[in-house]
Amino acid sequence: MNARVEDINSWLEQYDDKVLAIWGMGGSGKTTLAQYIVSSNSRHFEVTSVVENIGSTFEKEQNLDKLFRKFANDILGAGRESMEQDRLRLYPALRKKKALIVLDDINEPSQFTNFLFDFRAINPQSKIIITTRSSYTHTQLTGHGIPISCREYKMQLLDDDESLELLSLHAFGSKFPMEGYNKLAKEVIQYCEGNPLALKVLGSSLSEDCSIIFWRSTLNLLKIEMNSGIQRVLVRSYNTLANKKNKELFLHIACFFVGEDKDYVEKILEPDYCASSGIKVLANRCLLSVLPNNKLMMHPLIQEMGRSIVLEESKHPAERSRAWHSSDSYKILRKGEGSKTMEGLALDMQVLWIDRPLSKSSDLKTDSLTKMDNLKLLLLNDVHLTGSYEEFSEDLRWLCWRHFRLTAIPSDLFQGNLVAIDMRDSNLEVFEPPILS
């Protein structure tokens, strides 16, 4: 926390940028940091105000007056006679008083403008901190059409030592884990990947029963289902995506493309999801990052949140939009349960054999895949299909089929809409590029 506080305190001492945007993924501690900055620097300002949950309040279009009344009370003092009187007196007061203001959880620049609509009335020595899940480097804050200088601070997640201390405080009430819990605590830390909210939520839940059996059972449960408290916070970043195409793009990447080259993914998904611009939107919302080597990466909790959204579509894997667990995909193909809802499917027989040796043959029929009229992404490894390919989805964009056993791609497989084909380590003797439609 000290390094983060020092960075922001240095901004407070400068007067060129009136607004600081603290941005980062959900649960990364933005609000906690902003509140600490206010409490530790209040003596340098005449008035302070922390207005929380602005974004969610705007989304629900409820309690906006309550938020404004809270803000007015902080600036003017409690006991005003009416909302109209508050509005008349607020901006003259803001012009006179040196204020430190936090506007928490701003989802869109318009929410900043709508809440603090007369930015010109703010005292030149005042400072405003906004917390947000979005980067504002791609846009610009304005007040009455006038650009507002805004400095950004990207929230850094906790390192392992900080994570262990935070987890221990909530699980054991001390800075260190109890004897015998070091290994289990490290597993929790690896799962949370430095996210303070996740560490607090899991630490508190694990404190209910400080037994190794309970801890192990809880960790096993996390492998099956995401903690609802963590899911609820992280999913808001997804829900605030205004464009449905961006949401679909996020889910495809979370299920199939983490770790892949950005340019490669853009080529595959651009026709259907405007991936070039969409990836930038997701990165600006802290739902995705692009590494220096151009690989797409997600925080593990963000990826799990995305996959949980798909899992909630149906109890039956065949009725979901995507199947990435090889065990689910194998059952779908073996039982012939394909459906029109499926847009992406991955099956790695080698992984399946390692996790759980199969007593049945690895040869599967094409019948299930022919039922998937909207299938766009197909990833297979060491899978042998028998049957006709004539009724395969004509929407197929990406065919990744490693250890393909045939010597030629079936002639009845429609390839007119394919964007990328990956047939590494296969038995292909002849390959004819598809004729694009």
pLDDT value, residue 157: 94
Q: Fold for 2-154, please state it.
A: Rossmann fold (3.40.50)
Strands (E), 265-331: 289-290, 296-297, 322-323
Which whole number is the average pLDDT over 377-390? 92
Which whole number is the average pLDDT over 41-69? 86
pLDDT band at 144 (very low <50, low <70, confident <90, very high): low
| DSSP per-residue codes, 394-434 | TT--EEEEET--SSB--TTS--TT--EEE-TT---SB----
Nearest CA to 384 out of 402, 370, 396, 371 is that of: 402
Q: Fold for 241-309, please state it.
A: Arc Repressor Mutant, subunit A (1.10.10)
Ordered by start, the domain boundaries in the chain are: 2-154, 160-224, 241-309, 315-422
pLDDT tens across 228-276, in order?
A: 999 999 999 999 898 999 999 999 999 999 999 999 999 999 999 999 9
Cα–Cα distance, 253 to 249 (Å, whole number): 6
pLDDT band at 379 (very low <50, low <70, confident <90, very high): very high
pLDDT band at 14 (very low <50, low <70, confident <90, very high): confident
pLDDT value, residue 360: 53
| DSSP per-residue codes, 14-43 | -SS--EEEEE-STTSSHHHHHHHHHHHHGG
- Reading the block at residue 389, the tokens are 């390919």
**What backbone phi and psi angles, to 5 degrees, belong to 376?**
-115, -30
Which whole number is the average pLDDT over 411-435? 83
Which whole number is the average pLDDT over 330-354? 90
Cα–Cα distance, 238 to 35 (Å, whole number): 25
The crossing angle, in degrees rounded to 10, of helices 262-273 and 275-284 is 110
